[in-house]
A and B are shown apart, each in its own frame.
Chain A
Amino acid sequence: AQKVTQAQTEISVVEKEDVTLDCVYETRDTTYYLFWYKQPPSGELVFLIRRNSFDEQNEISGRYSWNFQKSTSSFNFTITASQVVDSAVYFCALSEAGYALNFGKGTSLLVTP
């Protein structure tokens, strides 16, 4: 069963727009970890963030911010003032304690000038 759902398959925005990538997860564990990875056109997988289930504080890193809401089982990712270099596929992933990461299908983001 799919444990991580990224309902947005593709998103296209114009540079400088804000964009939010949605991630909904499913787990019965009380201890789990959520991740976001970026895969640019070059193909490598780049780690962005790891968050444990006990820390619901939102996080901001430059133009990136993450909103974790256990009540809705969501871990959404927002890029503020998007840039062309943000064009990539973004993956959300869930790890239940001690287990490997289970990835969503990804959201392909295209930022046009």
Chain B
Amino acid sequence: DAGVIQSPRHEVTEMGQEVTLRCKPISGHNSLFWYRQTMMRGLELLIYFNNNVPIDDSGMPEDRFSAKMPNASFSTLKIQPSEPRDSAVYFCASSPGQGSEKLFFGSGTQLSVL
């Protein structure tokens, strides 16, 4: 079975550019999560969708960040404009139920903003 699929694996961009990260959750999973990992702040929840509806976006840093889930099999995380401090590994995860279930993580996107 395919796991959570993220693309791209690596992204290098220049400050000010728009960045779009993509995620395909495991088929049949109802919940999707975006996490960001940095050395300083560890793993932070950015946003959590359940049945394609955002449930908790309190972790989205600022208006430069936006996330969508147009259908059950696809989600995007967009940063516009990007800044060097956005450099991090961005993980997408899905789970079969609501929060509190085991999360299945993708391989992550390593983002570098120069």
Instruction: Write the residues of chain A forming the contact surface with B, with a CB cutoff of 8 angstroms.
Output: 32-33, 35, 43-45, 47, 50, 91, 95-106
Q: Taking CB as reference atom, which chain B residue is nearest A97? A: B100
B43 at the interface (CB under 8 A from A): yes
Give the secondary structure class of B's interface: strand
A45 touches B105 (CB 8 A): yes
- Determine if B103 and A47 form an interchain contact, defined as CB atoms under 8 angstroms apart: yes
Contact B99 A43 (CB under 8 A): no
How many chain B residues touch A (Cβ–Cβ < 8 Å)?
20
Q: In whole Å, how far is A41's beta carbon from the nearest beta carbon of chain B? A: 13
Q: Which residue of A lies closest to B56 (CB)?
A: A100
A35–B99 Cα distance when bound, in Å, is 12
For the complex of A and B, list the 3 residue pairs with the smallest distance between their C-beta atoms, beginning with the closest. Answer: A103-B43, A45-B105, A95-B100
Q: List 29 A-B contacts (CB under 8 A).
A: A35-B102, A43-B107, A43-B108, A44-B107, A44-B108, A45-B91, A45-B103, A45-B105, A47-B104, A50-B101, A95-B99, A95-B100, A96-B100, A98-B100, A99-B48, A99-B56, A99-B99, A100-B45, A100-B48, A100-B56, A100-B99, A101-B33, A101-B45, A101-B100, A101-B103, A102-B45, A103-B35, A103-B42, A106-B42
Query: Is A99 in contact with B100, judged by CB distance below 8 angstroms?
Result: yes
Per the 8 Å Cβ criterion, residues 4-52 of B in contact with A are: 33, 35, 42-43, 45, 48
